[in-house]
Amino acid sequence: MTETQTTTAAVDLAVPDTVEQARADFRRWMADHRVDLEQFRETGGEVTEIFGRLRQLQRMLFDSGWIRLGWPPEMGGLGGAPMLRSIISEELAAAGYPPPFSFATQEVLGPAVAEFARPELAAHVLPRLLSGQETWCQGFSEPGAGSDLASLRLKAVAVEGGWRVSGEKIWTSWAQLADRCVLLARTGDLDSGHRGISAFLLDMDTPGITVSLLRSMNGDDEFCSLFFDNVFIPEDRLLGKPDGGWAVTMHVLAGERGAAAWQRQIWLRSRLDELAAAGGVDDTVLGESLELLMALRVLSRRTVRALSAGEPVGSTTSLDKLAMSTAEKFLFDAAMSGASDEIVLGGSFDSGSGPGGGDGAWRNDYLYSRASSIYGGAAEIQRNIIAERLLGLPR
């Protein structure tokens, strides 16, 4: 891919000592820049338009230093506790701004690349991710390997200077817009399970990669199939050790079920507030939805704190994933119970649009929520993990 320099000049931002100080300082900054930020309240448009707008927001946050808090200086950050990163998306949502798309990606994939990539590679690519210059995707699931990633079959064969990869990935979010992909491939025998998997950071413009869009029932083209035909990956793009990709996998999944769950509950809370303001849903149902979201908030915050401190999280992240899917489904079931016309007909809860007259966001989100107990690890698998590994119950 074409490489351009990412400027990481010094910024006039003192690294806050505490999360509370960071929160107060960021609120003050948003108030001072409310005129410049106003353009980012708009959320509609084509996918490329939305991504372009969110990249501008991310660049603004990068240049001001906020999005660099908690990341090592040698990787484009400003230093400070990683926990500082958790407040930016929360405060943006509270102020009515959408978080940049790559927030979730950088918290899921960024820490794994920082931990397992060669230092010179991490120093090169992470500033590009943080600044919004690049978008990354996650090449994990396959047609026959979803929740059971240890059974993946995409084959990487060692050759001079690197590997040649052939096979297929599926359910890769926004791969059509991605610049790089954190990819899992089988470098051991087919029956080697998790011991024969390696992880790579792949440039998406490498010859031999075909991206095929998968239209979801909500009309989005978020998911893609990836086809690899003898694709070459240089040896310096290996993350961790050969056949050591399971450690990378666990690192990514911890971020996905912790940091990403934290950001998801922020967004879900904003949707609950909108639903409550619209009326039509029983207060008892709204209260139960709030309880589920608060449980998710507590669980995901615990995970974020542990990850920030470098502590192992293990199987406890299955609690986060199960709580997230439960809270998400309940919220949109509640919306359906009180405003079925708006959802079925694609309207909004704004009195000025009426049923069928909105942007269809609630219908889109309701349909998407149906898959929340499948993507990122099926609920049935998470219950088994909780039962066997956390509660010590027999198989």
User: Could you give the CA distance from residue 138 to residue 129 in angstroms, rounded to a whole number?
Assistant: 14
List alpha helices for 182-282, DSSP H: 245-257, 259-278
Contact 315, 326 (CB under 8 A): no
Helix, strand, or coil (residue 212): strand
170: left (phi over 0), alpha (psi -120 to 50) or beta: beta
Eight-class DSSP state of 14: P
What is the four-CA torsion angle of 274, 275, 279, 280, rounded to 10 degrees?
160
User: Could you give the CA distance from residue 313 to residue 349 in angstroms, rounded to a whole number?
Assistant: 39
The kind and range of the H/E element at 393 are none
Token look-up 């990163």 returns 85
Token look-up 């996998």 returns 249
What is the four-CA torsion angle of 269, 93, 77, 3, rounded to 10 degrees?
110
By CB atoms closer than 10 A (0-12, 13-18, 19+), residue 58 is: buried
Regarding beta strands 209-214 and 155-159, do their DSSP bridges make them parallel or antiparallel, or are they unpaired? unpaired
**What angle is formed at CA 275 by the lines to CA 271 and CA 280, rounded to 5 degrees?**
165
**Which residues are within 8 A (CB) of 2 and not within 5 positions of it... i.e. 6 or more apart?**
none
Q: Which two tokens stand for residue 251?
A: 């690192």
User: Could you give the CA distance from residue 15 to residue 29 in angstroms, rounded to a whole number?
Assistant: 14
Helix, strand, or coil (residue 334): helix
The kind and range of the H/E element at 328 are helix 317-338
Active-site residue identified among 90, 134, 142, 256: 256
Give yes or no: 3 in active site. Answer: no
**Which residues are within 8 A (CB) of 352 and not within 5 positions of it... i.e. 6 or more apart?**
none
Q: Which residues are catalytic?
A: 256
